[in-house]
Chains A and B, each alone.
Chain A
Amino acid sequence: GNSVTQMEGPVTLSEEAFLTINCTYTATGYPSLFWYVQYPGEGLQLLLKATKADDKGSNKGFEATYRKETTSFHLEKGSVQVSDSAVYFCALRGGGSNYKLTFGKGTLLTVNP
């Protein structure tokens, strides 16, 4: 079946530091890949997505590139802000389960001023 593995958290950074959150996946076929963000007390929001190999998703300064050869979709941001503090989820859809998203366990990011 499909699975998503994210780096263990929590991650604590100082403002303006560089962020990487690793995500690798296992799926049959050609899944679509997503990053969702969950701010405290809220539901998940779509941050960015990529639907085919070598696509780069980007939003709010965050980027992730769909790497089929390494089955990865790592999230990066060049300069984090305190307002980026949240839980980040990597997810995939497709590869035989077109109706459903499969989520990683989430990574808690805390950015200190």
Chain B
Amino acid sequence: NAGVTQTPKFRILKIGQSMTLQCTQDMNHNYMYWYRQDPGMGLKLIYYSVGAGITDKGEVPNGYNVSRSTTEDFPLRLELAAPSQTSVYFCASRTGTGDRGYTFGSGTRLTVV
């Protein structure tokens, strides 16, 4: 059982470039999330989805876009990368029933120069 898989693990972007961070889960979880982790700041929610075709903004959505065409995939798109988007990005998922917590991916470390 692979859990939540994120690619790539590391990436360096130039200012103004675009990229997509991939996230896939094989647990048939309805809920999926994107967080960014900045040093000493904990995790901030960027976007989340409660099921295929449904997405909503979190605390810090500016500069990002998401889509959820399937249950398994929840890609995060950065358009016009800025240095402020340098961070570690985590994708997470959870089942919609019970309270078993989230399953996190191993993260993508992004640097914008």
Q: Do A and B bind each other?
A: yes
Interface residues on B, range: 20 to 34
Task: Please pick, from B35, B100, B104, the residue contacting A45 in the complex, using a CB distance under 8 A.
Answer: B104
Contact B42 A34 (CB under 8 A): no
Size of the A side of the interface (Cβ < 8 Å), in residues, is 20
Decide if A46 touches B50 in the complex (CB within 8 Å): no
Cross-interface CB contact of A101 among B4, B40, B102, cutoff 8 Å: B102
Chain B residues with Cβ below 8 Å from A25 are none
Task: Flag if A100 contacts B48 (CB, 8 Å).
Answer: yes
Q: Do A100 and B58 form a contact, CB below 8 Å, given A32-B99, A42-B106?
A: yes
Query: Most chain-A Cβ atoms within 10 A of its Cβ — which of B31, B33, B45, B105?
Result: B45
* Distance between B21 CB and nearest chain A CB, rounded to angstroms: 13
Residue pairs across A and B with Cβ atoms less than 8 A apart, 9 shown, are A32-B99, A41-B106, A44-B90, A44-B102, A44-B104, A46-B102, A49-B99, A101-B102, A105-B41
